[in-house]
Structure 1
């Protein structure tokens, strides 16, 4: 029993694993082989039946031809007797006919007779027929030679009698042959009937075999292809509905492979659907739980379709109160008529639209909102609705307004400060000029003054000049901050500016006990600058270097050209500047390094004023330093379009050669 169940299972498994091409060949070949076998069987039956019928027809033909031989010989004998009795030639027509037709008839009989017994009787018959023909020939010859004699001779009568006996023997032999042929005919008829019965049976068997073969082909086709295709179709419908797939018989043919891939695709889709559902659920929970943003969906007509906790908190409506309402309800009266439609039109055309403005809560209070509306389209580009995100930024709006107000107040305070400094500086300048004037008068009569008074006058003059310098710096920086700096840009020879600044600052450097070098550009370039302000910047930088370079040995002033701009640098080998102090370097009134040089004079405005003057001439200022290794201050000025030859102003040649 185990082997019987295993073999069909193996056959079914082998059939299921067979490729569709071979299955198709089997389905086509099986009925075709059965049909060909049935046709061959039918052909063989038909052939046997035809042979049997041919045998029957041949038996009838043999009987007919034997009777025809007998009839021809009998008519020939009758004609010869008539010719013997009358002597008329017309009686010889049957004889001539027999002489003419007998060879052909006997030839057919010789071919047709196949049975051995009939053949032996036929040989006797043939001998008797030859004797009969020979006897007739003798009678005819004798009749022609004895035509003149009256009556028939005894010899002729004896020949006639012998011929009659031969004809009688021939008739008896014919009866023998007919009897034999009759027996053969009956046997052949019985054989024909038997063959017909066999033919009918074979036809029925062939029909049954053909029907069974067709049924087997249909079963093979159904079990191997159609039924499994229907199962695939059902699984495809299940896949479309998202339902689990039905179990599919294992197979490695094309349908089995397709079923396996479909099953894998189903598992992958279910996994992705599960991930998507979980992602959508997480997104829904996130959206619903977001409190700082109102996130909801609008229909293409602008009606609210969803509502989250943030929207409820910001706007005040519950979900059942607002869903189905047009979102224009959130806009104040002055913008409700046009702004909602405009926002939807922009989002439809551009994909999204953003706006900030006043919106209305359920209780009628207003809040400043940031709104983003995004068009939602399907894979075919058809508009399905809008996603709307609303954020309450009223506090930020208020903070911005407060900051703007504070900025305006700071600007106003700064302008007031600048105006105060400018007015104060001007007010201080008048008495300071008087102090300096009287000091100069006292200095003219210093020879007549006591030594203590001389020292006092010197201190007054020094303090007055320092205070005047401070007042001038205050006026300059307040003027720049107020936008009223008197900077006049013109094409100026760069080396002349360097020589002038070098000559003016050389005494300061010399007093500090430092070497002072000048490296001009030497190419005749001109820069677009305010000459006086440029010299002032260089003086500030050199003075600053000389003031703090207490342990170094030199200060250098040089110029280079980079990217179409002149770079003017002041370098020293002093203590440098700490990295922490660099952000404060150009801050007004912030004096760095006071702990290292407590006796150094200054207001803390030099570098700040220099930065503003350089920027007002379309330049930039920077510093490169490392603590303990000196510092290099550099500022840039734009080169003039047409360079002019270097000309040294009168009184500056000595400074260039020093």
Structure 2
């Protein structure tokens, strides 16, 4: 990280460490406080000037109202004299006007006069005014009491003279009030001038202070924010260009912390650039070192722009021979005109595409290739080219073709086997029926034969029936494998089927001296299946248990409900089947070595046939060890439940042996 210059001290350091919100508050508040102070001082000065002007206007109003009182009283006195001379009431109109307007005018004067000296003179003025009004009232009353006369009495003349003296006294009092108000008016005018001069001076001072405050705010903003932001901007440009950053002051505000983060980001960016270069170099070495895959790049038009060792090994071209050429060169002639551009279009549309097919080497030989083409786009989504990975899959292709051929041969062999078994079984069945027929004829004359001949007839019948059972099993298996097995599926009562199978298999268990038990479902259930085939499966499983249960004493048939199916169990308490042999249980002709057991006959087809029959009815068959006793075998199969509305339906089925195995 770049080291900043030496840290400032004092007020500069304190100001630089303050947070940006606080600095912004100071920068905004300083001019605002100066402005508010200036406005406050201007308001005070303006208010003082307004009060002084109000005082001047009030002085003029007092003078006006004083003259108004004098004029009203003078007009009233003149009107009274006219009335005394003519006895006509129209001359009293000024008197009545004075009575109406004098109270209002005197009230205004009383409110307007504030000076104590003028107030004393005003009170004397009020007294004289009242005397004047009383004198005029007295003159009118005296004139009305004397009636209409051509001349007035001495009393009236004396009253007139007295009233004139009062009016003169009032005039003198008005002059005194006007003199004092004039003095006050001059003082108030001088005060207005003084206040106005102070107002102008304060305005000038406020403008200067506001300008200085603004300059101080601009200076603080420039030194605390703008200068460092410009330094930060310069470092950001250097960071963009990958150049070393300029040292930044070690300050603790948001800009200082941001500068430290930029400095840290510069270090991380340089470290990542180093790692990126190293990673690119490692990637180049890896790509160049891969030999099993051809990895190369294409430009947007499909021309080769890079070439690795694997591509050279697989395709045969060296880098200087193929760079700049269209990658369609690798395709055989039958696909070269359309497939390369189609693959590029799919990659351009879907982002990536995969294809397999024949490709050409430099020497003209073909190989089976698996190719993956990926579109390369920049951060704006503009196509910059394609990456192509090619793998030589010729050996796998050959193996697949060999397996396909082997599978086809195996299927053909299986079909041939099934046809052979079916044909052989039919061919053997006719002479075997004849042999059994002749043997049965000989058996009818058994009493006439010697003991040796009777034994021979018994052996012929036993061997013939065994061979016929084998032939029937072979026919059943070949029919099922060929898909021609006939099943008559219908809804069956599982308890009825189990009871019938139990009755039919009873002699087998009695011959083997084994106890035989049957457990039916508590609640009967309907299953879907072929009754004869289900009984055939149960007889096969019971016969299997009777043959190999040499150490046990019993065989039992049980049934249980399992979800939407019924599971039938054929249980014995013999030695069971070894774990290693379980997977071979249902393999045709595989008796798991039990053919060596003395007295046990079998073909190895019973379980295989049972499996195919159960699966053809949509069920499952299997084997598990018994868990309720230490040893024993549990052969089971499941068949699905019939729907309540399902009606019996017939499935085409072929003839089978009339004898049960």
**TM band (smaller chain):** 0.5 to 0.7
Matched, 1:418 2:421: no
Please state how far the C-alpha of 1:293 moved relative to its aligned partner: 1.5
Map of 2:611 onto structure 1: 611
Matched, 1:629 2:631: yes
Map of 2:586 onto structure 1: 586
Structure 1 segment 168-247 matched on structure 2, within 5 A:
224-247=224-247
Map of 1:72 onto structure 2: none
| CA distance in 2: counterparts of 1:9 and 1:472, whole angstroms | 112
The one of 623, 640, 643 equivalent to 2:642 is: 640
Please state how far the C-alpha of 1:454 moved relative to its aligned partner: 2.1
Map of 1:440 onto structure 2: 440
- The number of residues matched between the two structures is 473
Higher mean alpha-carbon deviation, 6-15 vs 304-313, is at 6-15
Q: Deviations over 1:172-219 (max 9, x none)?
A: xxxxxxxxxxxxxxxxxxxxxxxxxxxxxxxxxxx9xx9999999988
| CA distance in 2: counterparts of 1:324 and 1:387, whole angstroms | 15
Task: Verify the 8 A CA contact 1:473 1:609 in the aligned structure 2.
Answer: yes
Q: Deviations over 1:623-658 (max 9, x none)?
A: 221595212222122333347999xxxxxxxxxxxx
Map of 1:91 onto structure 2: none
In structure 2, do the counterparts of structure 1 residues 24 and 430 end up closer, same or farther at CA, with 3 Å as the change threshold? Answer: closer
Higher radius of gyration, 1 or 2: 1
Map of 1:311 onto structure 2: 311
In structure 2, do the counterparts of structure 1 residues 406 and 218 end up closer, same or farther at CA, with 3 Å as the change threshold? Answer: same
Matched, 1:388 2:353: no
| CA distance in 1: counterparts of 2:500 and 2:523, whole angstroms | 17
| CA distance in 2: counterparts of 1:641 and 1:7, whole angstroms | 92
Task: Verify the 8 A CA contact 1:578 1:626 in the aligned structure 2.
Answer: no
| CA distance in 2: counterparts of 1:255 and 1:360, whole angstroms | 64
Task: Verify the 8 A CA contact 2:292 2:310 in the aligned structure 1.
Answer: yes
Task: Verify the 8 A CA contact 1:306 1:319 in the aligned structure 2.
Answer: yes
Q: What secondary structure does 1:634 align onto?
A: strand
Please state how far the C-alpha of 1:222 moved relative to its aligned partner: 6.0
In structure 2, do the counterparts of structure 1 residues 255 and 526 end up closer, same or farther at CA, with 3 Å as the change threshold? Answer: closer
In structure 2, do the counterparts of structure 1 residues 10 and 464 end up closer, same or farther at CA, with 3 Å as the change threshold? Answer: same
| CA distance in 1: counterparts of 2:28 and 2:590, whole angstroms | 105
Please state how far the C-alpha of 1:236 moved relative to its aligned partner: 0.8
In structure 2, do the counterparts of structure 1 residues 455 and 233 end up closer, same or farther at CA, with 3 Å as the change threshold? Answer: same
Matched, 1:474 2:474: yes
Map of 1:538 onto structure 2: 538
In structure 2, do the counterparts of structure 1 residues 12 and 434 end up closer, same or farther at CA, with 3 Å as the change threshold? Answer: same
Q: Deviations over 1:152-172 (max 9, x none)?
A: xxxxxxxxxxxxxxxxxxxxx
Matched, 1:431 2:445: no
Higher mean alpha-carbon deviation, 447-456 vs 518-527, is at 518-527
In structure 2, do the counterparts of structure 1 residues 494 and 228 end up closer, same or farther at CA, with 3 Å as the change threshold? Answer: same
Q: Unpaired runs of 5+ in structure 2?
A: 1-5, 35-207, 649-661
Task: Verify the 8 A CA contact 1:525 1:645 in the aligned structure 2.
Answer: no
Task: Verify the 8 A CA contact 1:519 1:559 in the aligned structure 2.
Answer: yes
| CA distance in 2: counterparts of 1:478 and 1:214, whole angstroms | 109
Higher mean alpha-carbon deviation, 485-494 vs 548-557, is at 485-494
| CA distance in 2: counterparts of 1:547 and 1:360, whole angstroms | 66
In structure 2, do the counterparts of structure 1 residues 438 and 27 end up closer, same or farther at CA, with 3 Å as the change threshold? Answer: closer
Task: Verify the 8 A CA contact 1:508 1:546 in the aligned structure 2.
Answer: yes
Please state how far the C-alpha of 1:451 moved relative to its aligned partner: 2.2
In structure 2, do the counterparts of structure 1 residues 230 and 532 end up closer, same or farther at CA, with 3 Å as the change threshold? Answer: same
In structure 2, do the counterparts of structure 1 residues 21 and 620 end up closer, same or farther at CA, with 3 Å as the change threshold? Answer: closer
| CA distance in 2: counterparts of 1:571 and 1:258, whole angstroms | 83
| CA distance in 2: counterparts of 1:226 and 1:525, whole angstroms | 92
Matched, 1:361 2:361: yes
Map of 2:496 onto structure 1: 496
Please state how far the C-alpha of 1:578 moved relative to its aligned partner: 1.6
Please state how far the C-alpha of 1:608 moved relative to its aligned partner: 0.8
Please state how far the C-alpha of 1:356 moved relative to its aligned partner: 1.2
Please state how far the C-alpha of 1:316 moved relative to its aligned partner: 1.6
Q: Unpaired runs of 5+ in structure 1?
A: 1-5, 35-206, 647-658
Structure 1 segment 18-97 matched on structure 2, within 5 A:
18-20=18-20
| CA distance in 2: counterparts of 1:428 and 1:416, whole angstroms | 17
Please state how far the C-alpha of 1:29 moved relative to its aligned partner: 10
Map of 2:272 onto structure 1: 272
Q: Deviations over 1:479-502 (max 9, x none)?
A: 222223233333344333323222
Map of 2:404 onto structure 1: 404
In structure 2, do the counterparts of structure 1 residues 631 and 220 end up closer, same or farther at CA, with 3 Å as the change threshold? Answer: same
In structure 2, do the counterparts of structure 1 residues 458 and 211 end up closer, same or farther at CA, with 3 Å as the change threshold? Answer: closer
In structure 2, do the counterparts of structure 1 residues 213 and 472 end up closer, same or farther at CA, with 3 Å as the change threshold? Answer: closer
